């Protein structure tokens, strides 16, 4: 049985840890509200931009050259993996790492064995994890979340887009956590490049009836909208991941606080039992000593 001093030390340590987890939960909750507002504002814009682009592309009737829609055999693959810069968020980062490993060892196994799978990570946790596992990791966008904005994310998106156009990659996939609520984050795997053609029935029925007036020209507008839409797609994924991270950390810290409380109860019970046993032992020693003196 542990001594009273050891149990008191553990109680002090667990109490300090509980205070830290409480503070981290409050900080995550404050950041989550801002991150949730950002992604809720971004979703309608991204969806509408994608719908407009789909309609404009279908109306172009092949007149517009779109280098981002060129379909090639997927011999060289780039995977954009969005993680966080910090840990203590439960399975948030490990789920992304696991999804990438599953994809590489499954769908892209032959490309990986040929050395043609590249990882572009947004977030330090993914960068460190994939480098440690021996993957070919390009770019270091570990500090994206320090000052999260469209301009900081745009650099990573442009790197992937330029690589696809130059033939460095034949296919680009995007893996990130989609925010649903505080307790639920869903790992999403999307094809980023080449742009997937949507069926006509998938397009917004209301928008398909709109008659657009183009100024200066249909081709120029589409050529400018396509790169912007792709960058917005990556930015939206990063915002989803940012909100998911704070939600996951808030849930993890809440659970850690509860676990610390349960552990404190057990430790205090152990402390009281140990203290009672020590007192009982001292009483028995005193009684025994008194009886020994009386017998003399």
Q: Which residue has the higher pLDDT, 200 or 12?
A: 12
- pTM of this prediction? 0.83
Q: Which residue has the higher pLDDT, 286 or 104?
A: 104
pLDDT per residue over 21-50, tens digit each? 999 999 999 999 999 999 999 988 888 887
pLDDT score, position 153? 93
Q: Which residue has the tokens 């801002």?
A: 34
Answer positive or negative: Cα dihedral of 197, 201, 206, 210: positive
- pLDDT above 80: residue 293: no
Q: Are 253 and 86 contacting, i.e. CB atoms less than 8 angstroms apart?
A: no
pLDDT score, position 280? 85
Q: Which residue has the tokens 């517009």?
A: 64
* Omega before 216 within 30 of 0, i.e. cis: yes
Q: Which residue has the higher pLDDT, 241 or 47?
A: 241
3-state secondary structure of 181: strand
55-to-11, 205, 207, 221 alpha-carbon distances in Å: 64, 10, 8, 12
The CATH code that applies to domain 22-253 is 3.40.1380.10
Provide the pLDDT confidence category of residue 58 given band limits of 50, 70 and 90.
low
Instruction: Identify the CA nearest to 175 among candidates 88, 113, 244, 250.
Output: 244
Provide the pLDDT confidence category of residue 223 given band limits of 50, 70 and 90.
confident
Which tokens sit at 250?
């808030």
249-to-9, 25, 32, 41, 255 alpha-carbon distances in Å: 27, 7, 9, 22, 10
pLDDT per residue over 110-158, tens digit each? 999 999 999 999 999 999 999 998 899 998 788 888 888 999 999 999 9
Q: What span, in angstroms and rounded, lies between the C-alpha atoms of 47 and 232? A: 10
Q: Sketch the domain layout of the chain as residue ranges.
A: 4-21+255-295, 22-253
Provide the pLDDT confidence category of residue 75 given band limits of 50, 70 and 90.
very high
pLDDT score, position 73? 92
Answer positive or negative: Cα dihedral of 30, 236, 206, 223: positive
pLDDT per residue over 175-216, tens digit each? 999 998 888 899 999 999 888 765 444 544 544 556 667 677
- pLDDT above 80: residue 64: no
Instruction: Identify the CA nearest to 49 among candidates 294, 184, 225.
Output: 225
pLDDT > 90: percent of the chain: 52
Tally the C-alpha atoms within 13 A of residue 76's C-alpha that lie toward its C-beta: 10
Average pLDDT, the chain: 86
Provide the pLDDT confidence category of residue 285 given band limits of 50, 70 and 90.
confident
Q: What is the DSSP letter of 69?
A: G
Answer positive or negative: Cα dihedral of 111, 113, 118, 123: positive
């Amino acid at each position: 049985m542990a001594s009273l001093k050891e149990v008191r030390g553990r109680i002090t340590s667990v109490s300090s840890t509980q205070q830290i987890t409480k503070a981290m939960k409050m900080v995550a909750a404050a950041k989550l509200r801002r991150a949730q507002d950002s992604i809720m504002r971004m979703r309608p814009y991204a969806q509408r931009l994608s719908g407009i682009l789909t309609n404009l592309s279908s109306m172009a009737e092949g007149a517009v050259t779109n280098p981002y829609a060129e379909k090639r055999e997927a011999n060289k693959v780039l995977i954009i993996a969005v993680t966080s810069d910090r840990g203590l968020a439960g399975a948030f980062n490990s789920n992304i790492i696991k999804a990438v490993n599953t994809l590489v060892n499954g769908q892209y196994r032959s490309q990986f064995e040929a050395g043609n799978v590249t990882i572009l990570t947004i977030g330090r946790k993914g960068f460190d994890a994939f480098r440690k596992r021996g993957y070919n990791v390009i770019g270091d966008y570990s500090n994206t979340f320090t000052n999260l904005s469209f301009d900081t994310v745009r650099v990573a998106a442009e790197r992937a887009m330029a690589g696809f156009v130059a033939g460095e990659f034949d296919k680009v996939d995007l893996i990130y956590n989609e925010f649903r609520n505080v307790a639920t984050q869903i790992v999403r795997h999307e094809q980023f490049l080449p742009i997937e053609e949507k069926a006509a029935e998938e397009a917004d029925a209301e928008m398909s009836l709109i008659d657009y007036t183009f100024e200066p020209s249909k081709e120029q507008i589409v050529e400018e909208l396509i790169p912007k839409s792709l960058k917005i797609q990556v930015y939206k994924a990063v915002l989803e991941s940012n909100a998911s991270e704070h939600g996951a950390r808030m849930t993890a810290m809440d659970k850690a606080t509860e676990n610390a409380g349960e552990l404190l109860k057990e430790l205090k019970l152990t402390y009281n039992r140990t203290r009672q046993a020590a007192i009982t032992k001292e009483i028995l020693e005193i009684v025994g000593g008194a009886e020994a003196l009386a017998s003399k």
